[in-house]
Amino acid sequence: MNPGLTKNYIAVGALQKYRIAKHDTADGQVSLADGSAAALMGVTHELDTADGERIDVHRTGLVEVEYGGTVAKGDPLTSDATGRAVVAAPAAGVNAEIIGHAEVAGVLGDIGSCLMSRGTLQG
């Protein structure tokens, strides 16, 4: 892992380690990402965090992330309903927010590596 910018936020709800986070409604707060339409903003640090606690979120760099399905090297990654990284494959004309691209292949539950490069992928 070679994280770049890491910022500290207040967790809204429980956040698991190595999961994709999204901006919450209030400034300085994050919650677990819940799909490819969410405003993805980073990947949680190595500790599980309870509601209201402080949590570090990696915003740039090469970071560890939990996979939510089969991933190949180079795949664009988005969030599943539980904040795990899955392959972004939007339908024609649909946008999917991505957090970055997979550096290693893996399957459900693996801790993989993601080169963070936030953006939008259109099907």
* Tens-digit pLDDT string for the chain (123 aa): 777 899 999 999 999 999 999 999 999 999 999 988 888 999 999 999 999 999 999 999 999 999 999 999 999 999 999 999 999 999 999 999 999 999 999 999 999 999 999 999 998
Query: What pLDDT, on a 0 to 100 scale, did the predictor assign at position 38?
Result: 80
Query: What pLDDT, on a 0 to 100 scale, did the predictor assign at position 108?
Result: 98
Decide: 33 and 16 in contact? Cβ < 8 Å: no
For the chain, list the strands marked E by DSSP. 2-3, 6-11, 20-23, 29-32, 40-44, 54-58, 61-66, 76-79, 85-87, 95-102, 111-122
Pairing between β-strand 61-66 and β-strand 20-23 as defined by DSSP bridges: unpaired
pTM here?
Answer: 0.94
